[in-house]
Each structure stands twice: as structure tokens, then as C-alpha cells.
Amino acid sequence: MMSEQYRLRFRELKKKHNIIEKMIEKPRRIYKNWEHRQLAGILVRWSERSALFRFMVLKIMTLLWGKHILEFKKEIKRVTANYSTHNYAEDSRAMKKMQTDMIFCNLAYGATPDDYLYFDFEKRSTLGRNSFITNRMRDRYCRQLNNLQEGRIFLDKYKSYQIFQQYYGREAIKIDSEDDFSAFEKFAARHGKFVKKPVTSSQGRGVEFIDTVVSSLSLEKIFRKIVKEGRCILEEPIKQAGSMSKLHSHSVNTIRCTTIKTNEGVEVFYPFLKVGRNGSFIDNGGAGGILAGIDPDTGVVYTTGVDEVGERFILHPDTKVTLPGYQIPRWEELIALAKKLALIVPAVKYVGWDLALAEDGWIMVEGNHYGQFIGQQLPSQMGRKKEFDKIFNKAK
């Protein structure tokens, strides 16, 4: 009697939630593999005969994921439209199949649409998918390793500059309002060219190179434009060493060196190279740059380059420099600097340091206390979760 009551209620709910119904109605495909029966970190024991269980699963997913799935589908369309390895827009059947799998992977592994495409989840087994550090896993690691209140200094570029100033190797000032014109005028007199960065931006968004010498605008107009665009930090340009400049001279090409402070010391976790392209001033992968993995012991690039829409490069497409086998200069100095920086804010154990090679040595560009694991996994197409968990356990 009770079972029949739940069965009727289950049918009623199904009619109202067609999006989720597709996931429930196709259990043999989505839950076929027992290892895939994981929903938001909980092992699901699927029983087709249990009307009560199906009712509860649908109810939970309706409450927690209904709106999320609608938004997620919009995100899927945005990401797949730009991804180069497959034209999903022209293959509606493949797109529909992949959408369902993407939604499942988001629930089961915390994978965003970007994660799904970056790490080729479409072709991977359960074991392979579980080996990657996805966006939601990154959130969990960061929350446990970092004091988020202390980590806020990395969200404000000027606060970060104040704390790490001796490692910046360049001058910087903050622009808050029109009251800062005097400071701006003196700074512009010392540095006719400078870099403007929004105080709280990331992934290269809003970064701009300004040359007051060749600009048709007066200093006053340049300043008013800067103030109008919001709080920012102005930095003296980095004079990049020739050995890094030859990779792509228009951008400051950096190394992302991730450190984790453990009970046994500071460990470096799969550093990678970031190189600009197409004359862009920015090297970030999110801005079209190229990423390549670096051997942490030798400083030699060991993967092909790859951008965040799936294209791979043996030669840099603009400069024709061969990326695999490229030796990053003064590598031991870079590692030493990263480990020194890792000790400055004790409450923040996990940081991705962006470091640049200036003419007289390695300097800090910025620190990221919530950095993603794309550069550590995308170039090599190898999941790093197992290795990171070993370090994570020593750092807790």
C-alpha cells in the first residue's frame, strides 16, 4: 500500500520536472557502472524496484539541482561553442548525450563544463575521471588548507604588493579616487609606460598596458579614465629577461609555481609555463595563452603547449620556438623564491605563485590562494588527485 502511494507520487513529480526525469528514466545508461553511482559524494545504491528510493532521489535532485541544471545547460552551450576539438553545435545528438553526461559529472565529481572538456571526461572511465582534481575538489582543498580571512590579501593586489613588496622588483601605486592624481602624476613622470590592473581582478581580466608618451590623451584625461574604470593598481613594467622574452616578446611569460606548506616543509606541485600569443600583452590561459608542464626537478618543459580551447602546439605558433624540451633558466633560484614566499603568510598553506624572470632574477607577479588545477593537468592530460592527496594529508 505504502509502496503504491510513493509510486503514484513519483509519477506526479516526474511530469513537473522533465529535465531531471531524463536522468532518472535512463538509469541503465547513467548508473550502469556501479562505480558511477555517486551523487554529490554519496555512494548511491540503485534499485529499479524501489519506488521509494526513486522518489527520494528525484525529490532531492529537484530541490537542490533543478535551477542549477538549467543554468548549467547554458554554461555547457557557452563552453562547447568555443571548444576546438569537436563541433558540438552541428551534432545535436552528441550534444544532448554529452549534456546529460556533463550534468552527471558535475553531480558526481564536481566537474564544470570546462573541466569535462579540458580533461576529456567524455572518453574516460570512472577511474580516470576520479583521478582529476575538479573545480569543486579545488574548493574543498582550499577551504581546508587556507585561512580564507588571511587569504583575502591575495584578492587585493595592492595589499599583496604591500606584504610582498621586496619580491616584486618594481614600483606600484594604488588609484582609488580623484584625490590620487598627485601620486599618479609623479608615478607617470617616473614611468611613462605602466601596467593597469583592477585591484580584485583575476585571469588577466581588465589588465591594460598604458603608454602616456605616445597617447593622444593628456595625463588628466588618462587619469580620469582610470578612475572611472574603478579601483586599480598601477605597476612599473617588468623588464623581462631575453631568455623568456624569446618565447613571446609582447607578453611577460610567467611560471605558475604552486606551493603547499606541510608539516615536513614546503612542497612544489607541478609547476607550469604560461606564454602569451598573437601579440597579446597577457599570458593567462583564460586570455588565450599557452600552457605547458614543467619538470619540477630540472625546469625543463616536458609537454606540448596547449590552450584552453584544446589546441596543442609543439612550436609556439608566433615565434616558432620549440616548447617541449625548453629549459627554464635559473630554475633553482625560482624554486627557492617560491618556497620563501610560501612561508610569509603562515595561515595560507596553498598558493599558486606567478613568477617572472627579470633581467636580474626571478620576481613575483602575484599569488593565487584559490588557484585552479588546470595547468597541472591539462597539458599532460594526467589526473593529479592521488598525488595531491598525499601532500594534502601532510598539510592538514
Which of 99-103, 227-231, 325-329, 336-340 has the weakest average pLDDT?
99-103
More confident residue, 72 or 257: 257
Q: Is residue 138 part of a domain?
A: no
pLDDT tens for 11-36 read 555 554 554 545 545 444 444 444 44
The fraction of the chain above a pLDDT of 70, given in percent, is 77
Supply the pLDDT for residue 53. Answer: 55
Domain end marker among 189, 210, 235: 235
Q: Which of 211, 235, 259 represents a domain boundary (last residue)? A: 235
Residues 205 and 119 in one domain: no
pLDDT level of residue 8 (50, 70, 90 thresholds)? low
Q: Flag whether pLDDT at 59 surpasses 80.
A: no
Task: Please check whether residues 243 and 358 belong to one and the same domain.
Answer: yes
Q: Does one domain contain both 194 and 257?
A: no
Band of residue 100 on the pLDDT scale cut at 50, 70, 90: confident
At 97 the pLDDT is 79
pTM above 0.95, yes or no: no
Q: Using alpha carbons only, give the angle 87, 92, 96 rounded to the nearest 5 degrees.
A: 105
Q: Are residues 42 and 124 in the same domain?
A: yes
In angstroms, the CA 78 to CA 309 distance is: 12
Range in 59-63, 357-361, 364-368 the model is least confident about:
59-63
* Claim to verify: residue 208 and residue 290 sit in the same structural domain: no
Per residue in 136-181, pLDDT (tens digit) is: 899 999 999 999 889 999 999 999 999 999 999 999 999 999 999 9
Arithmetic mean of pLDDT, 177-202: 91
More confident residue, 139 or 283: 139
The answer to whether residue 136 sits within a structural domain is: no
Question: Longest C-alpha distance within the chain, in Å?
Answer: 85
148 found inside a domain: yes
Whether residues 185 and 225 share a domain: the answer is yes
Give the lowest-confidence range in 103-112, 115-124, 221-230. Answer: 103-112
Q: Are residues 231 and 308 in the same domain?
A: no
Domain count, the chain: 3
What is the pLDDT at residue 45?
44
What pLDDT is attached to residue 329? 97
* Residues 34 and 110 reside in one and the same domain: yes
Q: Does 284 score more than 60 pLDDT?
A: yes
* Residue 135 in domain: no
Same domain, 151 and 176: no
For the chain, the three-class secondary structure string (H helix, E strand, C coil) is CHHHHHHHHHHHHHHHCHHHHHHHHCHHHHCCCHHHCEECCEECCCCCCCHHHHHHHHHHHHHHHHHHHHHHHHHHHHHHHHCCCCCHHHCHHHHHHHHHHHHHHHHHHCCCHHHHHHCCHHHCCHHHHHCCCCHHHHHHHHHHHECCCHHHHHCCHHHHHHHHHHHCCCCEEEECCHHHHHHHHHHHHHCCEEEEEECCCCCCCCCEEEECCCCCCCHHHHHHHHHHCCCEEEECCCCECHHHHCCCCCCCCEEEEEEEEECCEEEEEEEEEEECCCCCCCCCHHHCCEEEEECCCCCEECCCEECCCCCEECECCCCCCECCCCECCCHHHHHHHHHHHHCCCCCECEEEEEEEEECCEEEEEEEECCCCCHHHHCCCCCCCHHHHHHHHHHHC
> Domain span at residue 194?
171-235
Task: Please check whether residue 373 lies inside any domain of the structure.
Answer: yes
Res. 242: pLDDT tops 80: yes
**Co-location of 311 and 385 in the same domain:** yes
Residue 306: give its domain's CATH number.
3.30.470.20
- In the predicted model, what is the mean pLDDT of the chain? 83
